[in-house]
Amino acid sequence: MLTHKEVSRLFSSKRILEISDGDFTFLKKVAANYHSLLSDTYTPREVFEACYKDLSRNYRGEYFFKNTVTEKILLGRHSTNTATAISEFRVGKSKADCVIINGNSTCYEIKSEYDNLDRLDNQLHHYQKIFDKVYIVTSERHIEHITKKVSPEIGIILLTKRNSLSEIRGAETNQNEIDIATLIRSLRVGEYTEIVKLIYGSVPPCSNTEVFEICESLLKDASPVLVRSLFCKVIKKSRSVESAFVNNLPRSLLTAGISYKISKHQKTKLILNLHKNISKDALCTTQYFEASSLS
């Protein structure tokens, strides 16, 4: 039997791409944990759902937190037509766990019960340089410490024992000017050049080696309020959620579908393979040979 931590790896990029490629080796090992819950013939989708339900009760790690935020905020309050979600968005030396952008930008930093808080102050310092609002999403293990220690402008959300999101404290809108040096280093070339074009009409003629420095200088001279607004507009378009793909995934795979680098071909194969029938006989055979090799 796999541990809950091992089972949770089914939701990793590596394992998702394996399934897209038709490799069900690890998935069958996970399925063995839920043997009594699966029919004689089951699908990968059913394994994901059984696994996710188990993790929701017994191992709420970072992926579960991210997926809950994506489901309840991106899809619950907004939609993939009006907002986008980004996972692991680099800001300075930190990576924001989940950023949701519609007309403004909101960062959700996750601190599960398996995380420590050593880097939290530094992470929040970076996020406040560019985002309109910053929230911490945490478990009951950390809620008291975070409520007492974190600056009042930072919002706090508790993932309850019933897996709902309870807002303990609302986030205040950031009144500071956006930090251009941090922002531009968080963006792709096409994104910061697009912001410059929207402000100035075009990017001045320059070599590829000069474009970053020139764009940074131009953005520093622009209205901070305008840059903040255009940051949201450009990112919402350049990193939009592929609704047709995401809507065909089980809810347990929302974050995987939004966050992982999956080619168009792999996405098509993933959707098909999630519905592919797998026989328990094959699972039992695999278990037999694994047991034999250990004896």
Each residue's pLDDT tens digit, 190-228? 999 999 999 999 999 999 999 999 999 999 999 999 999
- Residue 283, pLDDT score: 52
Mean pLDDT for 156-168 is 97
- Residue 285, pLDDT score: 46
- Residue 162, pLDDT score: 95
Q: Is the pLDDT of residue 292 over 60?
A: no
C-alpha 170/C-alpha 37 separation (Å) is: 40
pLDDT, tens digit, for every residue of 69-118? 999 999 998 988 899 999 999 999 999 999 999 989 999 999 999 999 99
- Residue 81, pLDDT score: 87
Angle at 135 between CA 130 and CA 136, to 5 degrees: 125
Q: By percentage, how much of the chain surpasses pLDDT 70?
A: 95
- Residue 80, pLDDT score: 87
Angle at 100 between CA 131 and CA 151, to 5 degrees: 45
C-alpha 219/C-alpha 268 separation (Å) is: 40
Q: Tell me which residue has tokens 């996750």.
A: 110
- Residue 289, pLDDT score: 41
pTM of the model: 0.91
- In this structure, the dihedral spanned by the alpha carbons of residues 223, 225, 227 and 233, taken in order and rounded to 10 degrees, is -150
Contact 34, 50 (CB under 8 A): yes
Query: Which of 28-32, 66-70, 78-82 is the least confident region?
Result: 78-82
Q: Which domains are present in the chain?
A: 4-59+244-294 (no CATH), 81-175 (3.40.1350), 180-238 (no CATH)
